[in-house]
Amino acid sequence: MGEMKDREELKHILKEERRKGKTIVFTNGCFDILHPGHLYLLQEAKNRGDILVVGINSDASLKRLKGEERPIFPQEERAEILASLEMVDYATVFEEDNPYNIINELKPRVLVKGGDWKKEEVIGRDLVESWGGEVVIIPYKKGYSTSGILDKIKTSNCRR
C-alpha cells in the first residue's frame, strides 16, 4: 500500500531510493474514475521497476484538459484511492497541464504511458532518455475509458 506525498518530499525519497539502486517508474494521468484499464496500466508499470510513482492531474488541470464537468472526484480522493492500491508506492498531485516538470524533478528511470500514446509523443520522453532511462507504452485495453464510462452513465440516466 502506497503513500500520498508532495513533490518536494518525494524528490528526497526517490533520490535516496535511487542511491540504493532502486528503479523508479513514473506514470501519470487524471484517474478520475478508476477502471480496469487503469489497474492493468498500473500493474504493468509496477512490473517495470521497484518503485511506482503515479502523478495525478490536479482538479484545476483536469478541468482545463477535460472540461467544466470534470473532475468527478477531487484530487485528494483520487490520490487516496491510487495510493491505496498495492502496486502504487507513491501518489502525488501536479498542477501543470502536463507532467514535464514533475518528471524532470523526480527523474524516473522508466516512464510508462498507455497505448493511446505513441512513444515519440510522450511528454518527458526526451528527459528520461537523456539520463539513460526508457519510455514504455503499455497496450491499451479496449473498452475502458473514463469518457466512455461517463457517456454510458449519461445515456442510461436519460432513459428514465
Q: Which domains does the chain possess?
A: 3-158 (3.40.50.620)
Q: What is the mean pLDDT of residues 79-105?
A: 97
- Residue with the bigger pLDDT between 150 and 130: it is 130
pLDDT bucket at 67, cuts 50 / 70 / 90? confident
Whether residue 148 has pLDDT greater than 70? no
Please check whether residue 141 is in contact with residue 40, taking contact to mean a CB–CB distance below 8 angstroms: yes
Grid cell, residue 149, equals: 464510462
Alpha helices in the chain (DSSP H): 7-19, 36-46, 59-66, 75-83, 100-106, 125-130, 146-158
Grid cell, residue 79, equals: 490520490
What is the chain's mean pLDDT, rounded? 91
pLDDT for 156? 72
Whether residue 158 has pLDDT greater than 60? no
pLDDT for 109? 98
Q: What is the mean pLDDT of residues 29-42?
A: 91
Whole-angstrom distance, CA of residue 24 vs CA of residue 1? 16
Q: What is the mean pLDDT of residues 11-18?
A: 98
pLDDT for 129? 98
pLDDT bucket at 2, cuts 50 / 70 / 90? confident
Report how far apart, in Å, the C-alpha atoms of 67 and of each of 64, 70, 77, 79 are. 6, 6, 19, 20
pTM for this model (two decimals): 0.89
pLDDT for 122? 97
Report the share of the chain in percent with pLDDT over 90: 75
Report the share of the chain in percent with pLDDT over 70: 88
